[in-house]
């Protein structure tokens, strides 16, 4: 019955809003997928127009580093496509972080968005 306890515990924590951490391979795969998506949003002009943002995304150490670079990416995309289009593009990136971040870093719905 020892094997049942961790699964039961993680299930209870999941119900309480503390989901179990993803495995290292899932985290690494998700990080690389997000990194590639962020770089592809900048397009071919990204390294020329925004070399600092491109470099920081390319060399971010972990998922949290990429999470915090969303603001820089949003600024770059807004200057290329305008703010409304940049918000739409960023929504798909933000959704990719679901389940990969520690609980305190997940985005919360804004009361201003209606």
Q: Is the pLDDT of residue 13 over 80?
A: no
pLDDT of res. 10:
52
User: Is the residue at 27 inside a domain?
Assistant: yes
Distance CA 49, CA 53 (A): 9
List Cα–Cα distances, 33 to 8, 28, 37, 50, 69, in angstroms.
Answer: 31, 9, 6, 20, 15
User: Is the residue at 49 inside a domain?
Assistant: yes
DSSP 82: -
Helix 70-81 and helix 51-58, axial crossing angle in degrees, nearest 10: 140
pTM more than 0.85:
no
User: Is the residue at 7 inside a domain?
Assistant: no
Total number of domains in the chain:
1
pLDDT digits (tens, 9 = 90+) for 58-111: 999 999 999 999 999 999 999 999 999 999 999 999 999 988 887 666 655 655
User: Is the residue at 14 inside a domain?
Assistant: no
Q: Which residues neighbour 71 within 8 Å (Cβ) at sequence distance 6 or greater?
A: none
> Which domain does 36 fall in, by range?
23-97
Q: Which residues neighbour 11 within 8 Å (Cβ) at sequence distance 6 or greater?
A: none
Label residue 4 by pLDDT band (50, 70, 90).
very low
Label residue 29 by pLDDT band (50, 70, 90).
confident
Q: What percent of the chain has pLDDT over 90?
A: 54
What is the chain's mean pLDDT, rounded?
81
């Amino acid at each position: 019955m020892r094997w049942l306890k961790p699964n039961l515990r993680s299930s209870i924590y999941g119900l309480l809003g503390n989901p179990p951490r993803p495995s290292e391979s899932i985290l690494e795969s998700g990080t690389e997928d997000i990194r590639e998506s962020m770089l592809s949003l900048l397009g071919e002009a990204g390294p020329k127009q925004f070399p600092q943002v491109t470099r920081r995304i390319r060399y971010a150490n972990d998922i949290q580093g990429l999470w915090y670079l969303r603001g820089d990416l949003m600024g770059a995309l807004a200057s290329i496509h305008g703010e409304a289009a940049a918000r739409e593009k960023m929504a798909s990136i933000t959704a990719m972080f679901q389940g990969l971040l520690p609980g305190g870093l997940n985005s919360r719905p804004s009361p201003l968005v209606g």
